[in-house]
Structure 1
Amino acid sequence: MTARDDGCLRHGDARETHPRDGAHLGHDQTVAMLTDLRRTLLARFGTSDERRLDSSLRGARRVVVPVRFHVVHSGRQGRLSSTAVRRQISTLNAAYGGRRGGVDTRVRFRLAGHDRTNESAWFHHPRRYEGAMKRHLRKGGRGTLNIFTAAVGTEVLGFATFPQHYKRKPRMDGVIIDYRSLPGGPYKRFNRGYTAVHEIGHWLGLLHTFEDGCLPPGDGVDDTPYEAAPAEGCPHFRDTCPQRGDDPVHNFMDYAHDPCMREFTAGQGRRIRASWAAYRSR
């Protein structure tokens, strides 16, 4: 799940099925993004304290995210069924609702429509044709989640944009995932639909739990312990940093195999809701 550079636009990551290359956001961009969030919250709500903001917005209804699902395929290859799309939406709601473990983030996803596009070049080379694909297919505004499925690759399973980037590059907003990573797909160890859960975490404002390793500010969330490196495979226990707390190896924003992912934290829930209020609710 490494950050990818696309000209001016930095992607959330690309979840990998093989050993990582370490090209995540980097310290300077992490600090810049967290600083931008604090400044935006302060300007809009008079506070950058996410706990205080969460309390003031507590009476509001849960965040319901409309989803536009774009199945890009090449003939029969990658032509996902409506059932597969609905199962992925159900998986998102279970994960973000805390039904796999962890907390209820108070985020839900509602399928607003899905379509299929038979375009071989887009399907086989979604990175190369990302701009054209999104310009033709993307629907809705800053609060609409556009998911695109294609053959992302054998090493990289998906990538996403951050909410901070919407204002500058609105047409590039969205999440692209490998069609084989959906629930029941052929990618063993990565076929429970958690690639989408992870990538959408970036779209909602979350960083990797291992961001910047043991170096502050990490991912900027106070209840995800520092982690020196991504989790590999299915570890049950690690403690790789001198700061307090065991590595969050089962967190959806780490790199473990799908069967070992199961939770978001309360702090991540607050970060999602703060990022939504700052960037996507307007």
Structure 2
Amino acid sequence: MVRIFSFAAVAVLFASSAAAAATGRGKCGTTLTLPSELESKAAEVVKTHKLKIASMPSGSRAASRSVPVNWHVIDDGSKGKLTSAQIAEQLRVLNLSYSNASMPFTFTLAKTTRTTNSDWFYNAFGGTSQESAMKSALRSGGAGTLNLYSVDLSAQGLLGYATFPSSYSSAPSKDGVVFEYRSIPGGSLAPYNLGATLTHEVGHWVGLYHTFQGGCSGNGDFVSDTPAEASPASGCPKGRDTCSGGGLDPVNNFMDYSDDACMYAFSSGQATRAAALCNQYRASV
């Protein structure tokens, strides 16, 4: 599953079938650096975003499953060296995001590895030899262990990519999430620096498709309570309705392509689907 981020134009790119091995989040941006005039406001934006997430109905967490997380920090010798505090904050946002709609998962850091490798840092995108080498060297745990790899994906125009639960049995060494290190809360990749990239990619890891999967016809994302959506959302277009008769587009859903500040919800149907797929393919979760 590939989350796409075009620095030149919005990329309307997504998997065309439920069996696809890649998915994406299309974005438009003009710079990789958070403008200096916004730096002082970054902490408040993150705080406001957390309040939006926390305001969503949480439902029952009685069946919550603890997911061990192995975070693999890749750097080039200077860039990419995330601190323990930054990792902890991203995981806090991830858990806050998965605390609504009865999402049955909590994520706990099991270990952190740190590797200086410029080739992996800049070139470990899906299907490359660098991705294979990185994951072969670092991945650990079983189907229920979430392996995260923070790298620089800007040259490929990506925010992140992940594997689906059903892919584990055929390619266990590839399992996990690779994502842009600057997308963490307070990172420099505004407006995608509130931590929603990881929430989105972990959504794929537990079995969720994009809300716009399949457009206005067919089974869509295979979740009945996420209204059909003809195309990915960009920015935060509240009131957008691209598929008549099914309700407004779910632009606040983590599985759309909206800006991070716009994303704060999962649906109960998504929680049910994720639990069922993890029961089937990630039995240890």
- Match of 1:15, as an amino acid? I
Look up the SS of the partner of 1:164 in the other structure. helix
- Match of 2:188, as an amino acid? P
Distance 1:180 1:110 in 2: 21
Runs of 4+ in structure 1 deviating by more than 2 angstroms, as ranges, are 17-23, 27-30, 58-61
CA contact (8 A) 1:88 1:193 kept: yes
Distance 1:215 1:21 in 2: 21
Aligned length: 240
In percent, how many aligned pairs have the same letter? Answer: 43
Query: Which residue of structure 2 aligns with residue 176 of structure 1?
Result: 178
Q: Match for 1:198 among 169, 175, 200?
A: 200
Map residues 1-282 of structure 1 onto 2, 5 A cutoff: 12-18=1-7, 19-27=9-17, 29=19, 61-98=63-100, 103-127=101-125, 128=128, 129-153=130-154, 155-282=157-284
Distance 1:262 1:59 in 2: 18
Distance 2:182 2:61 in 1: 39
CA contact (8 A) 1:15 1:195 kept: no
CA-based RMSD of the aligned residues comes to: 1.7
Distance 2:114 2:18 in 1: 39
Look up the SS of the partner of 1:202 in the other structure. helix
TM-score by length of 1: 0.81
How many angstroms does 1:17 deviate by?
4.7
TM-score by length of 2: 0.81
Look up the SS of the partner of 1:259 in the other structure. helix
Look up the SS of the partner of 2:68 in the other structure. strand
CA contact (8 A) 2:5 2:11 kept: no
CA contact (8 A) 1:180 1:191 kept: yes
Distance 1:204 1:59 in 2: 16
How many angstroms does 1:190 deviate by?
0.4
Distance 1:21 1:182 in 2: 22
How many angstroms does 1:60 deviate by?
6.8
Look up the SS of the partner of 2:69 in the other structure. strand
